[in-house]
Chains A and B, each alone.
Chain A
Amino acid sequence: METIKSYLENMFLNLPKTREVYMAKMELAQMMEDKYNELLAEGKTDNEAVGIVISEFGNLSELAESLGIHNYVKNNNYAEVEALPLDMVKKYISEKIKSSIHIAVAVMLLIMSLAAVVVVDSLAWINGASDMLGGLVFFGGVAIAVGMIVYDSIRMGKWKMFGKGTKRLDFAAESYVKEQMENFRATYALYITLGVVLCITSVVPAMIMGEISWRMNDFSMDDIAGALFLVMVAVGVMFFILGGMRKGCYEGLLQENQVVMNKEKEHQKELEKNILSVYWPTVTCIYLIWSFLTMDWYITWVIWPIAAVVEQIIKLICREKK
């Protein structure tokens, strides 16, 4: 019965609180409860009864005229909006997870190709090989990474309709997404923790190796330390992207309904989304530019934890405005 109540609450959540709407909700609840009780009395299980009651409930748009919410329903496009079925949402989520892996690996590859340059250059200097090799490795890595990102964005092109508020989730799909998001919570925490730990500890090998190389008077190790630092940052960033994109996918799907139902909030959501979509790439650019200009790799990593805090502040500001 709780499921039915929350289903009904959900349906009526965004309707104006008029007398007509209240009466409708009361009577629909009564009808559903009667039906539910009778199904139980017939020997159906709780799940079966809930399923039957919800599947036979009908469509809220039918009530639009009689409740005087016609304009409301129309303005919000709620009735006209196509509900996304569960299997489609499942497919989207699995595609989006694949996509998050592609992007995460591509970005990791980008940063690692920098590390590779450092190592190759160092080896080249020792062995007297050509400098060209470093450039070759770097651009090879960048080419593969960019290729992956382009391929992925083309592949995800057919899912563009998501996140625009032009669709909504049906009840089963919304429950599924909420459940998935809840299941992912622990993994997400792990990803972010790993990412933060890797970024913070990335300076440790550099410090240790710097100390060793200073004592042994062998400075070839510095390059390796620099490369190790980059590799750790790369893996850390990969975890950030893996966690962030998947969480964003769930949140985006759930927002789908909110966007459809709350046109006013849509603008704010859109603003937040726009800011955040360019946020991390910008931070990465600043990080790389700052690092390469000053070569102060030992300190530039602080941009990551700071950026994470700033992101939360931006989100808060965007939400406050609502």
Chain B
Amino acid sequence: MTGISSDVIRGYNDTIILYLLLKEPSYGYEISKKIRNLSEEKYVIKETTLYSAFTRMQKNGYIESFYGDETGGKRRTYYRITEAGRAYYFEKCKEWTLTKDVIEKFIVREENTSGDN
């Protein structure tokens, strides 16, 4: 079974997280759940990967953290996207479109190559 390429996805973890923060602030588990659902369970982000992305993007000023008031009594750390984060996100979108277009030119679809398996 072919899995997702961790090398490729690594460069786009930030993009994925920023996309989810575009609309509204969110917290760790909710983000990881959304990634799982939106990717139809094809990509499950590791907790450590997620957390290191949070700290890195905070350092770069792409996101900010704040404590949310939970009804359950627990204080979760929420993250919200900054203006710099938005700019960075759209930059990454352009980068991906370009990358995808380039790589596409070198990809052979399996339907077109019968028998070679």
Count how many chain B residues have C-beta atoms less than 8 Å from C-beta atoms of the other chain.
Answer: 21
| Cβ of A54 to closest chain B Cβ, rounded Å | 10
A35 and B48 contacting across the interface, CB-CB below 8 Å? no
Residues in B neighbouring A63, C-beta threshold 8 A: 48, 51-52, 55
> B68 CB to closest chain A CB, in angstroms?
11
- Taking a contact as CB atoms under 8 Å apart, the answer to whether A27 and B46 are in contact is no
Set A30, A35, A56, A67: member contacting B76, Cβ < 8 A: A30
Contact A57 B46 (CB under 8 A): yes
A: contact size bracket: 20 to 34
Q: Are A27 and B77 in contact (CB under 8 A)?
A: yes
* A24 neighbours in B (Cβ, 8 Å): 51, 55
Which of B48, B59, B74 is within 8 Å of A60, CB to CB?
A: B48
Query: Of B44, B50, B52, B74, which is within 8 A of A31 by CB?
Result: B50
Determine whether the beta carbon of B29 is less than 8 Å from that of A62: no
Residue B33 at the chain A interface, CB threshold 8 Å: yes
Secondary structure class of chain B's binding surface, majority of residues: helix
Nearest-Cβ distance from residue A3 to partner chain B, whole angstroms: 15
CB distance from B85 to the nearest CB of A (A): 17
Report B37-53 CB contacts with A as 1/0, cut-off 8 Å: 00000001011111110
CB-CB < 8 A to A27: which residues of B?
28, 51, 54, 77
A30 to B29, alpha carbons, bound, how many Å? 8
Q: Can you name 25 A-B residue pairings with CB atoms under 8 Å? A: A28-B48, A28-B51, A30-B76, A31-B28, A31-B29, A31-B32, A31-B50, A31-B51, A32-B47, A34-B30, A35-B29, A35-B47, A56-B44, A56-B46, A56-B47, A57-B46, A57-B47, A58-B48, A59-B48, A60-B48, A62-B48, A63-B48, A65-B52, A66-B52, A66-B59
B contact residues vs A (CB 8 Å cutoff): 27-30, 32-33, 44, 46-52, 54-56, 59, 74, 76-77
